[in-house]
Structure 1
């Protein structure tokens, strides 16, 4: 399509006020699905958390209402109501209607804050069908109402009150969001996390949609309690967790760590309460300090002989659970997503502070050092074994002259960005998939049986499993120390299993493998789960496919009383001929895919531990708690 020949000043649009947010909401909250919806609550709660970090708020209440609106109440100072010098309008109105308006750009109102961009509450207002602001401040109660970001009343002094704080009730705009129903579990997970990181704060979550369901999150033990929570259901090497906290050079540092007998490392890092999932300088400082302190104390306590080499940082990762929290005046995050802390000075501050703290802690509790060192030595031996196993895999590939496993039916394209590989359960389904695929960009990798449960295995043992080695060879990006996601041969990795109990188990085993050993494939958005249909419905010559009981019911209810139809329930992919498999599950124009994403790393880690770990009790409790949510149970 050709652009108009004339292009003048009249073609330049200026989006006034919050109109830019309503036009391009994803620029401000990520997306307009479930993640963006819940982000609205976080933005409001973050303002209350900033009041808590400043020492003025001790309680936050979040209430989910039946009409899909949410109320957030705090007992902080209340947003200022006096006229803003630049606009003459009340400061609270400016905060709710102007982007980049807030009290966080200098150090007068907030020394420490997570919300640095001043867009949070104004974005919530812009994307809400309606919002009511109530402020209790200086003995008066003020209220103002908004619709789609615009004030529809003035900020009015309605009555006197002894209360203090801010209340915001908002209802997301259903014309912007694809869904407007908030999840209790998603919000509860984030509120629990915030409560652990703020031991002087109580957060109440209430759900009026579910008979007034209520939970209070309040953990006086702070991050030490957080680590104990993360290690629930695991056998720890010592009790209680190590906790080192204090202040150095204007930076508040809090670190807690504990080892367990699993093979995974779990480090959760926060900067001004923001979960920095990609780590950063505070995590680098933590690793350096831990390695230095353990080696130093191991020599002081004569666990190491003079000729023994030091442990490396990688040796101390296995079984480590740690929470790192830093609060600093001017954090530098990489990008608006705030997933990595970049302040260079923080590495040295955390390193020196934590090193001294760990030495003092281990002086007081010398019994914790031996299990840490023994565990690290075993991890070192296992890493050496894994290295030999990886080299063996490479040698076998070199001997055959190929890097690809024989059972892989590869695609003809060599452009990773347009290629995809289906990891398929069994040879029968694999055969149908090979015949039905588009050979140009779709590869098929059939697996024989179930892969090893890697939740209970080190990398060296995992590499002894034929099916896991086959996956590693096919993907081409290595594993462990050799892993490099940029070498991934297919930018879409699709798990395709039968819609029965065995298929669900194989799918869970594969998800566990990718989450534990190739997490970047998940985090970079390369992993998908294919959704084969559950039913084939034929009415005369018309054939339809349904992916759920609900879809089947809606389809058949639409048939007239005299129309005859037959329903086939698919138990496995092998029951479909190649053409059916292509039409329903492999054709990009018609298939249903679910991209695997980790919205909450703490909950994801907990679920894998519960479902795939050694302890039976937590698994039974989980099944009992979620039994009513099961759909399409195959019995």
Structure 2
């Protein structure tokens, strides 16, 4: 550790947290600041490899949350040096614009305010876009509170009450059948709520939730005051937000009617739906799994090859809805998604309850080609938007069917990548002269026994668990790749094209 202070450089070296010798002055300096160099201990840390992308994402986040502070990251491990330089003078307002850059804002710039009350420092920014998803990120002392907390509750309460008050005074008041709900006023909202709290108390399983009860009232009072002041001075902005919220209210009421219709006519009793559920006999969710299979042929093979005791099969076909471009009422009434919602048994959207899931392994099984990748992406988008907790709690998986089958007589082997194929072929050539090879174009080409052995047997299969390490980055990627705007998608492809390992053209 080197500390530049009072004209000198103070130095001290530590080994496992213990100083090797007292602090010493090693040089003179006119700078101020601290330089820390460290090397991870292999006996303490399991993984010693640092991810440049993960670190960059976190440092970018810190630069947004601390406006005016410059943060640089350089990776010198590769022949070509990688470097990012982050400096955001706009703070969380610029953060919101960054998050919304793949969307169309209905007002610009973002609503922004900062204040201090009772030793709580608040910096808040919000901006509405023409989409249907709510994207809110909250922080306490630069820590991402993924589970929210009292600061977020205070913000939401003030926003809902303030917009209801303005709606009742607006030209749209006659269109209000009922009060706007929190979900109504947060449709299409991107917001960042950052607070600095002297003695934060964190709760929740991962300590990602602020528990200080006094913070709710402080934030709520400040947000109410600041929003009222802003809306009084910007009537056109509040009119646009209220109009969007009223449209969301109408859609919510339509979605409620769709849910009631679905409940009256349950999926398991209906006959005209495109996907049919072949359920398992086990009823303990922790022991069961459901394969969501694309295609009638593959669905038939999966039903024959599965273990009926704990494996359920839901076959789907036809064009899947891109939920990134659809409201909740359209999602709930969609004939491709209804079977999934009903089969999983935990509803969707704000009503989604992971405790009601009928299966604790939700496995998406699609062909290993472009069409299969598209189906997987659409299903993952749906689950990210409307069943987020299922991903967060580790219930969502991707099946990994093999790409190749190689055989010589009774010696049959499978490969999941081109590299694995080459290695397996080289190994088999040492034993056999004539080797047959088949590239699977789809799951339907496998018979039930092959599908079981390669893709469904817990003893031999490979599954990829879907994880969400960073909510901000996940939001950015889904909005970019599945949203309306082409330019950000093209930029993403250009920047990541050389990283593609499996290309099917």
Q: Same fold (TM over 0.5)?
A: yes
Structure 2 length-normalised TM: 0.93
- Kindly tell me: are residues 388 and 172 of structure 1, through their superposed partners in 2, closer, same or farther at Cα, counting changes over 3 Å? same
Of 55, 77, 82, 1:209 maps to 77
Change (3 A) 1:422 1:399: closer
- The equivalences for 1:16-31 within 5 A come to none
Change beyond 3 A, Cα 1:135–1:350: same
- Residue 626 of structure 1: how far off its partner (Å): 0.9
Give 1:554's match in structure 2, choosing from 423, 439, 451: 423
Which of 194, 199, 219 is 2:62 aligned to?
194
1:391-420 per-position Cα deviation (integer Å, ceiling 9, x unaligned): 111122289389x99711100001111010
Using a 3 Å threshold, how does the CA distance of structure 1 residues 278 and 485 change in structure 2: closer, same or farther?
same
* Residue aligning to 2:133: 264
State the match for 1:248 in structure 2.
Answer: 117
**Partner SS for 2:309:** coil
Unaligned segments of structure 1, at least 5 residues: 1-132
Q: Distance in 1 between matches of 2:359 and 2:422?
A: 37
Separation in 1 of the partners of 2:476 and 2:175?
41
Q: What corresponds to 1:159 in structure 2?
A: 26
Aligned length: 500
The answer to whether 1:485 aligns with 2:354 is: yes
Q: Which residue is equivalent to 1:413? A: 282
1:276 to 142, 145, 149: 145
User: Which stretch shifts more, 153-162 or 253-262?
Assistant: 153-162
Distance in 2, matches of 1:151 and 1:341, equals 32
Paired residues of 1:405 and 1:474 also in contact (CA < 8 A): no
Question: TM-score, structure 1 length as denominator?
Answer: 0.75
Q: Which has the higher contact order (CA 8 A, sep 6+)?
A: 2
* Structure 2: tracts of 5 or more residues without a match: none
CA spacing shift, 1:321–1:306, aligned 2, 3 Å: closer
What's the CA shift for 1:372?
A: 0.4
Contact map agreement 2:407 2:413 (CA 8 A) in 1: yes
Distance 2:363 2:441 in 1: 19
Deviation at 1:150, TM superposition (A): 6.8
Please name the residue that 1:31 is paired with. none
RMSD, matched Cα: 2.4
| Residue number in structure 2 paired with 1:626 | 496
* CA positional deviation for 1:546: 1.9
Counterpart-to-counterpart distance in 2, 1:544 and 1:175: 38
Kept in 2: contact 1:418–1:441 (CA 8 A): yes
How far is 1:457 from its partner? Answer: 0.5
**Change in CA separation of 1:295 and 1:465 when aligned onto 2, cut-off 3 Å:** closer
Alpha carbons of 1:317 and 1:545: their partners in 2 closer, same or farther (altered >3 Å)?
A: same
- Partners in 2 of 1:499 and 1:171 — Cα distance? 41
Contact 2:113–2:124 (CA under 8 A) maintained in structure 1 = yes
Q: Which secondary structure does the structure 2 equivalent of 1:478 belong to?
A: coil
Q: CA deviation at 1:308?
A: 6.9
**2:379 equivalent to 1:510:** yes
Q: Is the 8 A contact 1:253 1:325 kept in 2?
A: yes
- Which residue is equivalent to 1:337? 206
For residue 255 of structure 1, give the secondary structure of its aligned residue in structure 2.
strand
Cα gap change, 1:562/1:243 in structure 2, threshold over 3 Å: closer, same or farther?
A: same
Among 66, 80, 94, the residue aligned to 1:225 = 94
Task: Give CA deviations for 1:212-234 in whole Å, capped at 9, x if unaligned.
Answer: 32211111000100110011021
